């Protein structure tokens, strides 16, 4: 399990400077609500072809609440306090299962079997070529037409040493979405009393395959229904990124962020260089090369601060890359919880993972290897740590 670290240590680890340093350095957890950690479960909805979907509600001693469901192992709600102690749900999503079944841009999901993009849906492994769905023309995205985000996982709640959680399991058969090998996946969410959501992935295979899993929650620290996130202050511990082409496939180069709109090595608002970032639609949607290797224990990747609410989010991960996405493709067609209409830039994603299209970039194998073989275990841990500051 991840050992809780003082917030100021995390801030120093990413070299925070300027106005962000004191705000995060002073970030604290809310006072205990007087109740112990707990979990409950209820029926969230029913699948069209039958079978109930269970919703799990996790509560820690501070009153923080996380809700998740068996469909897609989706996190549907995250309730955290602001600087005045007022709780709000900071995760974009839907009130009912029907919203997720109708199609959406991966709200709260888990991308797999291989997260992010694979160029033209093709890759070669051990001299054999595989063809995947091109569900993000002309490329493959987040596991295909029916990736892990659309699968029914088996949930099992638990009360662990660091807090309540849910263990989800799913077995992806050989050939599913074109991927070789049967992949057995375990995903767990743990809500700690340090107001952390710890996301743990484990996977094994019976044939050589590729595996790159990533959590895909959209956050708005002012509240999921609070409009755009352009005023959020962000810092990312990455001096380099992987430039991409017009279809967001990396060119294979690793380039410095210095003197580009993509530089978040020092704190700045998401909106400051948004237009300069370009893209169609405009905004940030790129992989950052974190200033660390793949690690056994999660290390600092990014920090976010929302000035009005005082809420903070620190992202830690074992992974070498971080996809930062500013909700560019949100276009108002998704009506979410409480009737909230999610428009462009109303939420952001921080998705630790291996680099996009790594299987087709041999030079990246040492730093970003997505090949998984029999006898090996894929391991990944990401932590979303929430706090408040005045």
pLDDT higher than threshold 50 for residue 10: no
Phi, psi of 350 (to 5 degrees): -125, 105
Residue 351 bears catalytic tag: yes
DSSP labels for 56-111? EEEE-TT--EEEEESBTT-EEEEEEE-TTS-EEE-B---SSHHHHHT--S-TTEEE
Encode pLDDT of 301-356 as tens digits.
Answer: 999 999 999 999 999 999 999 999 999 999 999 999 999 999 999 999 999 999 99
The pLDDT of residue 389 is 86
Predicted confidence band of residue 27 (pLDDT cuts 50, 70, 90): low
Question: What whole-number distance in Å separates Cα of residue 176 and Cα of residue 178?
Answer: 5
Token duo for residue 171: 């077995």
pLDDT higher than threshold 80 for residue 12: no
The average pLDDT across 88-117 equals: 97
The pLDDT of residue 58 is 98
Query: Catalytic: which of 70, 198, 267, 351?
Result: 351
pLDDT higher than threshold 50 for residue 229: yes
3 state DSSP class of 177: helix
Q: What is the pTM of this model?
A: 0.93
Encode pLDDT of 252-303 as tens digits.
Answer: 999 999 999 999 999 999 999 999 999 999 999 999 999 998 899 999 999 9
Task: Check the CA dihedral 324-330-334-335 and report its sign.
Answer: positive
Q: Which residue in this structure is represented by tokens 């299962």?
A: 97
Encode pLDDT of 116-149 as tens digits.
Answer: 999 999 999 999 999 999 999 999 999 999 999 9
Token duo for residue 264: 């978040």
pLDDT higher than threshold 70 for residue 237: yes
Question: What whole-number distance in Å separates Cα of residue 301 and Cα of residue 334?
Answer: 29
The pLDDT of residue 36 is 77
Residue 216 bears catalytic tag: yes
The pLDDT of residue 28 is 52
Question: What whole-number distance in Å separates Cα of residue 384 and Cα of residue 390?
Answer: 20
The average pLDDT across 173-182 equals: 98
The pLDDT of residue 29 is 52
Q: CB–CB of 238/291 below 8 Å? A: yes
Predicted confidence band of residue 182 (pLDDT cuts 50, 70, 90): very high
Query: Catalytic: which of 142, 216, 224, 232?
Result: 216
- Mean of the per-residue pLDDT values of the chain: 92
The pLDDT of residue 100 is 98
The pLDDT of residue 11 is 44
The average pLDDT across 72-82 equals: 98
Predicted confidence band of residue 35 (pLDDT cuts 50, 70, 90): confident
pLDDT higher than threshold 80 for residue 244: yes
pLDDT higher than threshold 70 for residue 30: no
pLDDT higher than threshold 80 for residue 76: yes
């Amino acid at each position: 399990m991840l050992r809780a670290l003082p917030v100021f240590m995390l801030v120093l680890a990413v070299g925070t400077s300027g106005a962000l340093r004191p705000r995060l350095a002073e970030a604290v957890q809310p006072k205990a609500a007087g109740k112990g950690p707990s979990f409950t479960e209820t029926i969230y909805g029913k699948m069209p072809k039958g079978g109930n979907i269970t919703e799990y509600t996790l509560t820690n001693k501070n009153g923080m609440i996380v809700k998740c469901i068996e469909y897609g192992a989706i996190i549907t709600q995250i309730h955290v306090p602001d600087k005045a102690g007022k709780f709000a749900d900071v995760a974009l999503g839907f009130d009912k299962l029907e919203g997720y079944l109708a199609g959406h841009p991966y709200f709260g999901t888990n991308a797999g079997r291989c997260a992010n993009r694979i160029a033209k849906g093709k890759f070669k492994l051990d001299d054999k070529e595989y063809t995947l769905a091109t569900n993000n023309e002309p490329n493959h995205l987040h596991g295909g037409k029916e990736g892990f985000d659309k699968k029914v996982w088996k949930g099992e709640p638990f009360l662990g040493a660091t807090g309540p959680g849910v263990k989800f399991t799913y077995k992806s058969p050989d050939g599913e979405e074109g991927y070789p090998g049967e992949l057995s996946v375990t995903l767990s969410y743990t809500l700690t009393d340090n107001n952390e959501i710890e996301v743990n992935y484990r996977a094994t295979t019976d044939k050589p395959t590729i595996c790159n899993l990533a959590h895909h929650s959209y956050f708005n620290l002012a509240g999921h229904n609070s409009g755009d996130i352009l005023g959020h202050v962000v810092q990312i511990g990455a001096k380099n990124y992987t430039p991409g082409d017009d279809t967001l496939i990396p060119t294979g180069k690793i380039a410095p962020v210095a003197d580009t709109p993509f530089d978040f090595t020092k704190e700045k608002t998401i909106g400051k260089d948004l237009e300069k970032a370009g893209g169609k639609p405009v905004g940030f949607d790129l992989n950052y090369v974190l200033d660390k290797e793949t690690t056994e224990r999660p290390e600092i990747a990014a920090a976010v601060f929302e000035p009005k609410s005082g809420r903070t989010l620190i992202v830690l991960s074992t992974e070498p890359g971080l996809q930062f996405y500013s909700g560019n493709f949100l276009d108002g067609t998704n009506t979410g919880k409480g009737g909230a209409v999610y428009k462009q830039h109303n939420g952001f994603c921080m998705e630790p993972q291996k680099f996009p299209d790594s299987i087709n970039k041999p030079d990246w194998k040492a730093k970003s290897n997505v090949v998984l073989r029999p006898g090996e275990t894929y391991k990944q841990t990401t932590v979303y740590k929430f706090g408040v500051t005045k």
